[in-house]
A and B are shown apart, each in its own frame.
Chain A
Amino acid sequence: MTAKFSRRTFLKTSGLVSAGIAATSMLPDKFLLWAEEQGMLKADYIPTYCEVCFWKCGAMAKVINGRVVMLEGNPKHPGSRGKLCGRGNGGAGLLYDPNRLKTPMISVGKRGEGKYRKASWDEALNVVAEKLTKIKQQYGSEAVALFTHGTPTDHFLPLLYAYGSQNVGMPSFAQCRGPRDVGLELTFGESVGSPERLDLANSKLIVLLGSHLGENMHNSQVQDFSEAMASGAQLIVVDPRFSIAAGKAHAWLPIRPATDIALLLAWINVIIEEEWYDKEYLDKYATGFTELAAAVKAYTPEWAEKETDIKADKIVETARMMANNAPAVCIHPGRHATWYGDDVQRTRCLGILMALLGTWGREGGVFIATKSSFPKAASKPFPELSVEALNTCGYPLAGAEGLTHVIRSSTISGTPYPIKGWIVSGTNLMKALPNQKETIEAINKLDLLVAIDVMPFDTVMMADVILPECTYLERHDALAIGKGKMLTVSLRQPAVKPMYESKPGWWIAKELANRLGLNEYFPWNTLEDKIKAQCSLCNISYDELKKEGTIVIPGTAAPYITPLNPPEFKTASGKIELFSKELKEKGFDPIPRYTKHPQPQAGEFRLVYGRNAVHTFSRTTNNPELNELFSENEVWLNTKQARSLDIKNGSYVTLVNQDGVKSPPLKVKATERIREDCVYMVHGFGTTSKELKNVFGKGADDQGLVTRYAIDPICGATGMRVNFVRIEKGALHA
């Protein structure tokens, strides 16, 4: 990208035209684009789906002469509708990032020292297979755990199961969506899925509780949000920070952090007291209204004002806004929901509010997923477990995605059984899990840490063996089945050949399986063969899929409740459970109750974190095309506080948390846009990996300061907004 392209070199390269353009593979993008414009080269458009985040948007890779020069949205794909967000547009920055993992590597130093030697694929895979076999012999197959995120999961989870372990931990549950999904499942029998089935585009009123849409950039969701804003929808934003979304709000409620449940219960109280709820809907579909009404009686707006720092009349006014617009009210259930350890109950409040307003299954609220599905191919059953997996370990409603931190603590303690090997694919555990000290302690107890990734992230650089996966633009992955309004299927296929010695995830998993004698679980030669077989089973033309990238199955949508399309609630009662018997039986509050959380002492601030529109956690921070727009995070500090602490905007400070952990030097953004009792950071920066040359030494890691976490007793997720920091002035910054 930075190659100089002066007039002289231009003349030199254009001399190549007569020598045959196609013969030269290392031409710069600008020349290729120019040559295409002049009609000398033809561009191919290869449809695929994106993996810069996990929305799985359909994308078209414009390829000229074997180089991806541009990415555009696939107009046929419902998640992108012909558009990509900034990150999706910058996807080729990952492909051509010079800091990519290029060859397999084997550690030659101590863990975390980052000393490696290159290895051949054969050697690296053999080392991993030998160690895995040894662990199985010595400790049993359950001693190996998998941490995974994104499409690699489709390859490595079957490998883990085939190997004989089901100890999987996906940060997407216990550090992200878990409590939300469990809370909604308890109330409605199912969650909203991903992409969330929110009918934002048709909403008359949108309620965001901590969701910073726009900064949290999920393509079609933001398209719908903008559509609603332009069509005059009203917006209530509850956020201690004046987010981009708050900038569009008709009511911004800068709530005192950790008091959300008080506000929600007060809203519920007002809607019940004023009889603004949807009686007919509740009579038909819900159970437990009487108990609910009795339980929330004490939660008046006046009471909530003291807790939340939001005026009682404002609470009533916003409740009235909801009632006036119901049922076309979209109450966003959030996505990253692991805040304070009572997050399932907070989501229950959101669910109850949705039910009172009758928005589930209604236009402008939450739409119903298509009931159509594809047949599943039969596969060899996985071996039975000899001991129970750690997945739910003491947390009754944890699910199939497992609990990362339970595996971590079992690794440290060796109970209920030893964990000796970690396979980590597509997730940067050091940035994902709270209390990094524990993560390091656990890693130091391992006999094997193998990382499969594209970039040398923090956790990758602690691995014993690094297996370089190629980027999403160079590989096949499992078909993406979308169950939104319509049933859709999308294909990921390589736009270009894998660069360096990197290999697709499916190949790595299959090769490991071969070496472990588990080849029966991967009974195909290439993933493309498997996809082809799947297509014929599902009665889809593979050729069409290859050409279009996405196929939408027509006639599969039934998004709203009608007499012919009644809702199904997969709860025990078959109804929306305002009062949850299941929770009561398991010893929890059947109707959410408010509990006070500690607030910062004088001189302390609650640490709140979030996202930036051009980054996906730490995954994108080194991407040259995205790093250019946001290369370093800042700490947001209220202007008044900055003045009283004599801290200048743009100066560098150190954050020190309640346990004495210090951040690297961090730039201050003194702003009116945040409350005085908290500070805010964009997540994902402050890498410890020197191999990430664009971003090493830039900004600070919020997760480094999250040494405490509050575990939700219902689902086991880790609430991470329970840390407090002090600010030290005058940090030295190189």
Chain B
Amino acid sequence: MPKYGMVIDQRRCVACMACVVACKKENDVPHGQFRTRVVEEVEGEFPALRMELRSELCNHCDNPPCVYNCPTGASYKRSEDGLVLLKKYRCVGCKSCLAACPYDARYINHEKGFADKCTLCEHRIKEGKSPACVATCVGGSRIFGDLDDPESLVSIVLRENHSHVLLEGAGTKPRIYYIKMYSKPE
């Protein structure tokens, strides 16, 4: 059973937005709504400044609050690969999941009325491709693969670098990892 996840190597990201445009096109996301974004954070005072570029998307948590809070059973964690997905026909657009998600990863599709979010392009994974954002990532910042396979690129880069997850304290057990540090672990 694969355990799909993603590593975002922030050293490589230049905020070129290729991921955002490709995702919108691949998944036909309505105008003004996004399944992924690149957050640009700058700290400090001129000229002592520090910048962080952080791609954000659904974390496909192993402990997903959106799934627990869904009253209709529309949101679910797929048993075979652990992707957090949505049965659109069961969704009533109540926004419980939007409120529950600490990552602001979901939106109500304003053309169709149901909740929507990143699926890690499960339709592409099925065809043996990587998600659209990963395939087009110019900096090679987004790395996709099976976290359980020690030979996969995600496992390799996680072994070789310090990494962290977003809002670890929320206890959601995210599957999206971030490499921010420049040094390798001892």
Contacts and interface: CB of A to CB of B under 8 A. Distances in A.
Looking at B9, B50, B135, which has the most chain A CB atoms within 10 Å of its CB?
A: B135
A675 B42 CA distance: 15
A6 B88 CA distance: 13
B32 A628 contact: yes
A230 B18 contact: no
Given A223-B140, A230-B140, A90 B25 contact: yes
Interface size class of A (residues with CB under 8 A): 35 or more
Contact of A638 (B11, B24, B46): B46
B87 interface: no
Contacts of A227: 12, 140
A639 B111 CA distance: 40
Interface residues of B, number: 39
B12 A244 contact: no
Interface of A is mostly: mixed
B141 interface: yes
Contact of A222 (B14, B20, B47): B14
B14 A626 contact: no
17 contacts: A2-B31, A5-B111, A70-B25, A83-B137, A84-B22, A84-B138, A86-B16, A90-B21, A213-B14, A226-B11, A226-B12, A229-B12, A242-B42, A247-B51, A629-B20, A672-B45, A675-B46
B140 A4 contact: no
Interface in A67-87: 69-73, 82-87
Nearest to A220: B138
B31 A628 contact: yes
B139 interface: yes
Interface string A234-274: 00000000101111100010100000000000000000000
Interface in B96-153: 111-112, 123, 135-141
B6 to A, nearest CB: 16
Given A33-B28, A248-B11, A628-B32, A242 B49 contact: yes
A692 interface: no
Given A247-B53, A613-B15, A85 B138 contact: yes
B91 interface: no
Contact of A89 (B12, B13, B25): B25
A614 B38 CA distance: 13
A89 B140 CA distance: 16
B16 A613 contact: yes
A86 B17 contact: yes
Contact of B28 (A30, A82, A90, A672): A30
Nearest to B28: A30
Contact of A85 (B9, B18, B49): B18
Given A217-B16, A625-B25, A672-B45, A83 B123 contact: no
A326 to B, nearest CB: 22
Contact of A629 (B17, B25, B44, B46): B17
A725 interface: no
Given A1-B31, A29-B28, A672 B140 contact: no
Contacts, number: 142
B122 to A, nearest CB: 11
Nearest to A231: B11
Interface of A: 1-2, 4-7, 29-30, 33, 37, 69-73, 82-90, 92, 213-215, 217, 219, 222-223, 225-227, 229-230, 232, 242, 244-248, 252, 254, 613-614, 624-626, 628-629, 638-640, 671-676
B62 interface: no
Contacts of B42: 242, 247, 671-673
B138 A83 contact: yes
B49 A89 contact: no
A676 B46 CA distance: 9
A5 B30 CA distance: 11
Contacts of A230: 9, 11-12, 140
B106 to A, nearest CB: 19
Contacts of A248: 11, 14, 51
Given A252-B47, A673-B42, A626 B138 contact: no
Given A86-B16, A629-B20, A219 B46 contact: no
Contacts of A232: 182
Contacts of B136: 72-73, 83-84, 89
A624 to B, nearest CB: 8
A502 B20 CA distance: 30
Contacts of A674: 46
Looking at A2, A37, A217, A671, which has the most chain B CB atoms within 10 Å of its CB?
A: A217
Contacts of A244: 14-15, 51, 53
A43 B49 CA distance: 48
B14 A245 contact: yes
Nearest to B50: A247
Nearest to A5: B111
B9 A214 contact: no
B81 interface: no
Contacts of B139: 222-223, 225-226
Given A1-B31, A223-B138, A673-B46, 9 more contacts: A82-B135, A83-B138, A86-B22, A223-B140, A225-B14, A226-B14, A244-B15, A247-B42, A626-B21
